[in-house]
Amino acid sequence: MTKSSKEPLIRVVKRQGIKTWQICLLYLGAVILALGIGAVLLLFLKANPFEYYEMMFTLNTVGNKMAYIQYETYIQELVPLLITSLALSLAFKMRFWNIGGEGQFFLGALAGAAVAFMIPTSANVFLTIFLMVVAGSLVGGLIGLSTAALKVKFNTNETLFTLMINYIALYIMRFFGETKADWNIFLRPDSERPKFNQIPDNAKMFTIPIGKFSLELSFILVILLVAVVYFYLKHTKQGYEIAVVGDSINTARYAGMKVNKVICRTMFMSAALIGAAGALRVSSVYALSDTISNDVGWTGIVVAWLAKLNPIGIVIVSALITILQCGSVVASSNFSNVDSHFADLLQGIILFVVLAADFFIRFKIVFRKKNTEKQSKEANV
Amino acid sequence: MKKVLSLVLALVMLFSFAVVTGCGGNSDSSEDDFLVGAIYINGKNDTAGYTFAHHNGITKAMEQLGMDVSKQLKIVDNVPEDDAQVTNAINTLASQGCKIIIGISFGYINAMEAAAEKYPEIIFSHATGYLSNDKNFNNYFGRIYQARYLAGIAAGKKSLALGNNNIGYVAAYGTEYAETCSGINAFALGVQAINPDAKVHVMKLNAWANESLERQFAEQLITQYGCGVIAQHCDSAQPQIAAQDKGVFGCGYNSDMTSQAANAHLTAPIWNWDVYYKLAIETAKNDPDNFMTKVGIYYGGLKEGFVDISPLTNNCEEGTKEIIDAVKAMMVSGEWDVFTNVKLSIAADGTITKVDGAMLDNKGGEVISADNTYYVYADGALKAVDGGAAAQDGVIKGSMNWYVAGVEEK
């Protein structure tokens, strides 16, 4: 009796020595389980789950003459998510909770669009895109720097700070989108209703044609970025400093690191990359909107954590999540009973189950010792 | 570890078993040749509102044309007015082989314009827009102002019977948008045709839909300004419900709102979207090369049956139906229209007389002159609009920015 009152029925204990193949199997099982739950829901909606999933995972490109369009869309969606996730992982590695990806993305997009509309249309495509990215990353970076500076000077809470800037940025975007005035360079001049204008041709993303398919310049940039971030975190002094600050600020101080400088520098980089992603997004989709971020500031957090802040992992996870997002649109357009909200639901189920699997990889549940368990069972009977 | 693994595997097997047994080998018969694509701002499973009205119109039209909606209609829904997402939706529909792509929301305009150039073999049809080309991109909207004029007559007749010259109007926007502005004016002109002393008090939401504000404004119009009839240009039936709760009357919009406010509702201006969709889909299917000459920029009205009013309820005054039928016949035949240099004057016994003369706005400016020239405000002054009937339609659809005399914005 005394033993059972001391020891709870269920305990959570840190798991040790789990093998890689077991981790992979658990993740795979989690995804299949989530798809199984989704399949049951699809059956309720009178849709064939096999057909639905086939269309979702292949983006309905098998035997489709216009499949290249889907691949273009896929890359267009993948790039901002990948950059944002990488950028967030820099701050997260330092245990700096930058949840302001949305806001940094919006303001970077606005800055990029401002450059696009103000630069002479005779300017070279590469120069224009370069200046857009510079403007976007400067605006994003300065916002990131300001939150970091306030954190190190006054110990403000960066979670709340970055979160609130998201809403300010969103409403700044809406203000420009809804205010018809002569000074508002972002709107279509010929429309009676306020409507964001398309950027001039010289600000539109440069593409490399490969047959019918055209590859965005930004895709090449993002691949380079993955390599750079990987190298930066693993093989440079600054990358090492980030890891040490993340583990223990006091250790970092004791080792003689300028902790405040590391925090400010890393947060500037993190936010600047997200701002650059916003500017590239404008160049890629040709216009602003108050949903231009496509929630990458939020999804990026999930991607970064699922990938354990590992750059290669981030590439894999964001590639899979983008398949889910693009594929769901294609699949639901072919099923009259399944609307696009089902895609959000399915994503939610998958993330939930995968995160649960993640929990079981790191921890195990231990039940009370057998003899006491028996006693309590007998007592219940 | 093993326990957890086996549990997960067991669940997986359970679910995959459920899946396998659940679905038999149905579907995938012969491939249909003509596919219709649609992009909606809200969900395709909606049961009321703007998207519902369009979805209903498209499916009804396709059924009338003998098409299989479940196979031949591809929809991407819940698409916000974001160029990237609209472009993705268009790309999805195009790569599935749709031959006509319908976009129902104004903000799809940029993406549809660009797509029309990118996909010359697909027809793009855009509701409420103002852009087009001469091959494969049109826009469509309706003369809903004609129906609003008729609803105004019902409201005016009611106000005479109530002895209350105050009429309220809950509007999404005011003079900012020609769509709301022309609607308010047409309604006011209909009211004044039968009750020249009536005033239309407008309160605007500054949003296309805001249910709680819609109700609040209707209540304010009734209690503060003493309005006896509440008209509306907004999404929900809240203004009608508020009118019923306060014991006054009202005219709804978009759909027959009698079921929501049976004791208050008079009639509502409504859309019959299937009329347009039938024409557009049929032409795109049978004669796509001549789509722009056969359908073109579509602006149908009472004559085409594209707009109408819902059946008059018993709340309407006696004799309302006869007057409305007569005025409707004048608009259907093209004998007379709302925004002209001729006004209608309807006597108590229902006699309709035409009165020539300029139309004045509520600041005393001449907005339609005696020789039927339209004027709109530009930089604070009225400027003439030239270019004939098409340009005049352009004013009603796109640039009208004045209220007729008797309209007051609160």
| Residue B211 reports pLDDT greater than 90 | no
pTM of the model: 0.81
Q: Is the CB of B128 inside 8 Å of chain A's CB atoms?
A: no
Q: Which residues of B touch A284 (CB under 8 A)?
A: 84
Q: Which residues of B touch A66 (CB under 8 A)?
A: 94-95, 97
Q: Provide mean pLDDT across the span B245-255.
A: 94
**CB atoms A39 and B18 under 8 Å:** yes
Q: Is A235 exposed, middle or buried (0-12, 13-18, 19+ CB in 10 A)?
A: exposed
Q: Please check whether the two domains, B36-142+272-300 and B144-268+310-409, share a CATH topology.
A: yes
**CB atoms A29 and B9 under 8 Å:** yes
Task: Please answer whether residues A297 and A274 qualify as being in contact, where contact means their C-beta atoms are separated by less than 8 angstroms.
Answer: yes
Specify whether the backbone of A372 is left (phi greater than 0), alpha (psi in -120 to 50) or beta: alpha
**CB atoms B15 and A22 under 8 Å:** no
- Looking at domain B36-142+272-300, its CATH class is alpha beta
Q: Which helix (H) or strand (E) holds B112?
A: helix B109-118
> ipTM of this model?
0.80
- Return the pLDDT at B1: 46
Percentage, residues of chain A above pLDDT 90: 64
Query: Hunting for tokens 């007569």 — which residue is that?
Result: B326
Query: What span, in angstroms and rounded, lies between the C-alpha atoms of B78 and B86?
Result: 10
Q: Provide mean pLDDT across the span A333-353.
A: 86
Residue-wise pLDDT tens digits, A27-66 = 889 999 999 999 999 999 889 999 999 999 998 888 787 8
Delimit the domains of chain B by residue range. Answer: 36-142+272-300, 144-268+310-409
Q: Which fold has domain B144-268+310-409?
A: Rossmann fold (3.40.50)
- Return the pLDDT at B83: 87
More confident residue, A366 or A155: A155
Alpha carbon of B121: minimum distance to chain A alpha carbons (Å): 13
Q: Provide mean pLDDT across the span A124-151.
A: 96
**CB atoms B78 and A289 under 8 Å:** no
- Looking at domain A76-322, its CATH class is mainly alpha
- Return the pLDDT at A341: 84
Query: What span, in angstroms and rounded, lies between the C-alpha atoms of A207 and A284?
Result: 10
Alpha carbon of B43: minimum distance to chain A alpha carbons (Å): 6
Q: Provide mean pLDDT across the span A316-345.
A: 88
List, in order, residues 6 or more apart from A371 with CB less than 8 Å away: none
Delimit the domains of chain A by residue range. Answer: 1-47+335-381, 76-322
